[in-house]
Amino acid sequence: MRETSEDAPAASRAPDRARYSNGERRREQIIEAAVEIFAEQGYTATSLRAIAERAGTSHVSLKHHFGTKEAIFQRVLEHRFALDRVARQQSIPGAGILEIAGMMMRRNMESPELLQLDATLTAEAIAPEHPAHDYILRTQEDFVAEVAPTLAHEQKAGRIRAELDPTVVARQLNGLIQGIQVQWLYNRKLDMELHVRTFLELLRP
């Protein structure tokens, strides 16, 4: 049977779709491996060959997909930032700060490799020239910008002391969460949610 003009493009696109799918899977594997390596060693000490070895691919294949360590690192940061954004979007509408904090802690405990990545990069990226410096600063400021209005709403409802500054409390909460997560990485028996909830209870009138 003669191939029609409509069938030909579809047939020719099938191998392209398969190659694209395989390429995407390979890139995802590389990103997952890069998250682990960057979390363990930091950005500076990590090499392309170490990422390739962890991903089970060749150095040549890794460079084909991403080109440079900087490019892989940027994808890792984008991946991490996207996960936080999705988690915030999935927060229960109208939930109080206690409920939101509890959800955050439970979610974070499910991804220790991401907590380790955050802890490693936060310590390493203090220098302004570090490629993660702006990312870390943005995540910290985003947290304060999103949590402060929630605290202000709780304040108006009489659930938080009126004399407190919501922005200051949001930054204190961010510091507590970052610190308790580092402690949890050393001791997985630590109840992070309990510590955060205890802090928030101190804000009650």
Q: pLDDT, tens digit, for every residue of 9-64?
A: 555 555 555 555 677 888 889 999 999 999 999 999 999 999 999 999 888 888 88
CATH superfamily for domain 1-73: Homeodomain-like (1.10.10.60)
Asked if 126 and 133 touch (Cβ cutoff 8 Å), the reply is yes
Superfamily of domain 91-205: Tetracycline Repressor, domain 2 (1.10.357.10)
**Closest listed residue to residue 170, CA positions, set 158, 153, 184, 156:** 153
| Rounded Cα gap, residues 122 and 102, in angstroms | 23
Q: Is 204 left (phi over 0), alpha (psi -120 to 50) or beta?
A: beta
Ramachandran bin of 18, using left for φ above 0, alpha for ψ from -120 to 50, beta for the remaining angles? alpha
Domain spans in the chain, listed from the N-terminal domain onward: 1-73, 91-205
pLDDT digits (tens, 9 = 90+) for 160-186: 999 999 999 999 999 999 999 999 999
Question: Which amino acid belongs to residue 89?
Answer: Q
